[in-house]
Amino acid sequence: MSIQSTQFDPARVPATVERIVETVLPTRHGMFRLVGYRDGTGTEHVALARGIDDAAGSAAPLVRVHSECLTGDAFGSWRCDCGEQLDAALAAIAAEGRGVVVYVRGHEGRGIGLLAKLKAYALQDQGVDTVDANTALGLPVDARRYDQAAEILQDLGISAVRLLSGNPAKEEALEDLGIAVVERRNLPVADRAENAGYLATKRARMRHDAAPAADAWESLLDGVVPAAPAPGEAEELTHRYGYLAQPGSQVIGQLRQSLDGFIASRSGDAGFHQDRGDHGHLQRLRALADAVVVGASTVLAEDCSLAVADVPGRSPVRVVLDAAAKVGGDARVLADDGVPTLWIVSGDAAVPPGLPASVEVVRLPAEDFAPRRVLDVLHARGLGKVLVEGGGNTVSRFLEAGVLDRLYLTTAPVLVGDGVPGIRFSGSDVLAEARTAPVRRFVFGQDICTEFNFAATR
């Protein structure tokens, strides 16, 4: 940090906001400069800054002007999305290594104050929406002013920003105060059941941007998998061979297992999967894939359809690895439901007669079910983006073969003790040879999803 540029400089401080103190704040998003201000009304504000010492002449930094919200920011309230917005803003700034959160005090309840906000909550408990609740209390719908925020940004040497906000009124206010908003970006925070009504009101009555909810998964996967085809385009694509939604290929593994590495109990009870925190993530992965690969044991255990549900996109081609053709003709993966299936069996395995035309039986020599051989079969049919979805044995075999570009390994907070194994492979005597890669982590409810970017290690 440059001491010179951060020293108190009376000439740079606007008349109404005074820079009082500067220190540093270590957070779970890393170290920030913490600069404290007092405005002309005596209200105290802070700015958390990272990498802006050399602001002069460089590109507009990410900036969030965050309105104080005790309930959301400190208590993690889900009545609003303030706490998650703040966290996402700090994460975005940390990821870019540069940016500022201006934390504006006195903005509780869009400027009406903490207790008035709680009174408005009490009215909302009776069914009044957030706008009408403020009005019923004789208070403005939005009483916030942003001059202190603009002056703090100017004090930090920032005149142009890329604003992290879903609120166009905030952008306009900053522009009016001389801060150029070169871009405004909505943070990828998904709605929750507890705040969906509140957020819908802000969108309908206060011009807030549409929910990024469904797209939040896409944001998480941004750059990981090429985007899904547009709705019109998807209709034109036939699922049958020669269909190639996007050029290029990518192989992604995903598995959800207990914290101690099992996907089911000894008897095959996989009950903890009924409440999967990563449901949306898995659906999104399916929607982005051309083909989804599962082992026969998983089909027999779960009779899954592997269809896309709850997110936009079409269902991928199903690929069932089943050397002994153990999967019965009535399995959902072999159903005539408009989604084609490649049923990969060994040369002499007997398959039932009368399979639908959507099922292609692919015969491989029994000794030739290696992951690379399976991928050859898929690539020859134009299926480039492949999701290896389960179970533990199948994902482990693709991992061990070194063909996974990414692995999303979700751990659920369950200890099974002994049972059907999740990720297992032969390993090595030398820990230095353990599989690792750059990782990112996502919290999905009670689950933690770790993304291994194996492609980055090649």
Using CB under 5 A as the criterion, which residues of the chain lie in contact with Zn ion when the complex forms? 69, 72, 80, 82
Letter string b/e over residues 183-192, b meaning 16 or more CB atoms within 10 A of that residue's CB: ebebbbbebe
Nearest distance in Å: CB 179, Zn ion: 23
**Nearer Cβ to Zn ion (119/281):** 119
Whose Cβ is closer to Zn ion: residue 21's or residue 74's?
Answer: 74
Closer Cβ to Zn ion, 69 or 102, answer by number: 69
**Per-residue b/e over 19-50, b at no fewer than 16 CB within 10 Å?**
beebeeeeeebeebbbbebbbeeeeebbbbbb
| Cα 4 to chain centroid, rounded | 39
**Cβ at position 114, least distance to Zn ion in Å:** 11
CB-wise, 69 or 387, nearer to Zn ion?
69
Taking the complex as a whole, the smallest distance from the CB of residue 69 to Zn ion amounts, in Å, to: 3
Token pair of 57 as six digits: 């002449």
Between 86 and 383, CB nearer to Zn ion: 86
Which lies closer to Zn ion via its Cβ, residue 80 or residue 359? 80
Question: Is the Cβ of residue 105 or residue 332 nearer to Zn ion in the bound state?
Answer: 105
Q: Which helix (H) or strand (E) holds 450?
A: strand 447-453
Tokens, residue 253 = 């593994």
Report the C-alpha gap between 226 and 244 in whole angstroms. Answer: 12
Shortest spacing between CB 82 and Zn ion, in angstroms: 3
C-beta closer to Zn ion: residue 80 or 153: 80
For the bound state, the minimum distance from the C-beta of residue 74 to Zn ion, rounded and expressed in Å, comes to 10
Rank residues 143 and 355 by Cβ distance to Zn ion and give the closer one.
143
CB of 148 to Zn ion, least distance (A): 19
Task: Kindly tell me which of 72 and 106 has the beta carbon lying closer to Zn ion.
Answer: 72
Q: Kindly calculate the radius of gyration of the chain based on its CA atoms and give it in whole angstroms.
A: 27
DSSP letter (8 states) at residue 455: G
CB of 108 to Zn ion, least distance (A): 8
Buried b (16+ CB within 10 A) or exposed e, 250-273: bbbbbbbbbeebbbbbeeeebebb
Q: Are 218 and 281 in contact (CB under 8 A)?
A: no
Q: Name the nearest CA neighbour of 37 among 123, 139, 124, 147.
A: 147
- Residues 261, 267, 272, 273: what is their CA dihedral angle, to the nearest 10 degrees? 90
The least CB distance from residue 187 to Zn ion, in Å, is: 14
Q: How far is the CA of 318 from the CAs of 198, 227, 254, 340, 358, in angstroms?
A: 40, 20, 15, 6, 10
- Taking the complex as a whole, the smallest distance from the CB of residue 66 to Zn ion amounts, in Å, to 10
Minimum distance between the CB of residue 336 and Zn ion, rounded to whole angstroms?
50
Q: Crossing angle, helix 147-155 and helix 168-176, to 10 degrees?
A: 60
Q: Please name which of 131, 156, 150 lies closest in space to residue 2, comparing C-alpha atoms.
A: 156
The DSSP code for 28 is: T
* Segment holding 449, helix H or strand E: strand 447-453
Q: How far apart are CA 355 and CA 386, in angstroms?
A: 24
